[in-house]
């Protein structure tokens, strides 16, 4: 594999998985000069950036539209995710370099990235709870939270915790399988991570349609709409990678 391709698989995709999918962090721009407020004396986990982009005008958001239009927008975005994932999966499966090298190169870094990201569900819980679409969002979101009342936790906490546990278990299983310490085929944790990534994609859509903030836990603000579009493309590639790893013959 050429060095550039190796760098892409080992660095770009794992970082995208951790920074973009799980935390909503936009890809950094080296040309942009960021200044930190000094020193930070608050209880926040990170120093604030002084040049965060402005929040979008609420009237531009999908959430400002009537419920019927919001429902159509969510359906359209979801259909785009399915179509885009299929297109990228087909493209990657036809790249000889990906087919030959991805099964050997990607499982460990991607598995580690998802394991670490799963842990953050318990260290940045409030942020993930905000990113969880409440019941009734878009006029159609009615995903249940069975047992939440019995456990004494909120709807958002319920989905934050189970997805965090799932990411840790699936990510660690992928790493252990890749190094030969777990006697399961690599396709199994890859398939689980595809389903998990698909399951949490509505949280990314919700952040876009409702301008959900990552602050104060993370001093990051996505530019609207370009950073959301870029993060969406990364999500499609990630889903396609999981699909292909789950379906390609793995050594």
Nearest CA among 143, 27, 157 for reference residue 74:
143
Place of tokens 């930190």: 36
pLDDT, position 1: 34
* 21 or 65: which leads in pLDDT: 65
pTM of this prediction? Answer: 0.80
Encode pLDDT of 77-136 as tens digits. Answer: 999 999 999 999 999 999 999 999 999 999 999 999 999 999 999 999 999 999 999 999
Hey, which residues does 36 pair with through a beta bridge?
49
Task: Decide if 205 contacts 77 (C-beta within 8 A).
Answer: yes
Token couple for 3: 């060095």
Q: Report which of 233, 244, 242 is spatially closest to residue 84, judged by C-alpha positions.
A: 233
pLDDT in tens, 200-244: 999 999 999 999 999 999 999 999 999 999 999 999 999 999 999
């Amino acid at each position: 594999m050429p060095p550039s391709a190796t760098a892409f698989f080992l660095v770009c995709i794992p970082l995208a998985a951790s920074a973009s999918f799980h935390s909503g962090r936009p890809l950094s721009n080296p040309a942009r000069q960021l200044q930190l407020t000094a020193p930070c004396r608050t209880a926040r986990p990170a120093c604030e950036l002084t040049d965060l982009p402005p929040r979008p005008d609420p009237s531009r958001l999908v959430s400002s539209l009537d419920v019927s239009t919001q429902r159509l927008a969510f359906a359209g975005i979801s259909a785009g995710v399915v179509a885009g994932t299929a297109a990228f999966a087909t493209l990657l499966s036809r790249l000889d370099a990906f087919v030959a090298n991805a099964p050997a190169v990607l499982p460990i870094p991607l598995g580690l990235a998802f394991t670490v990201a799963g842990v953050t569900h318990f260290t940045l819980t409030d942020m993930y709870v905000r990113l969880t679409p409440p019941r009734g969002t878009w006029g159609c979101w009615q995903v249940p939270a069975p047992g939440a009342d019995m456990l004494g936790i909120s709807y958002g906490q319920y989905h934050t915790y189970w997805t965090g546990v799932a990411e840790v278990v699936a990510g660690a299983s992928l790493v252990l399988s890749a190094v030969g310490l777990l006697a399961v085929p690599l396709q199994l944790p890859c398939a689980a991570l595809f389903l998990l990534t698909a399951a949490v994609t509505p949280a990314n859509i919700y952040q876009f349609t409702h301008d959900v903030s990552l602050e104060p836990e993370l001093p990051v603000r996505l530019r609207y709409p370009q950073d959301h579009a870029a993060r969406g493309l990364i999500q499609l590639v990630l889903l396609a990678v999981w699909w292909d790893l789950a379906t390609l013959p793995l050594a």
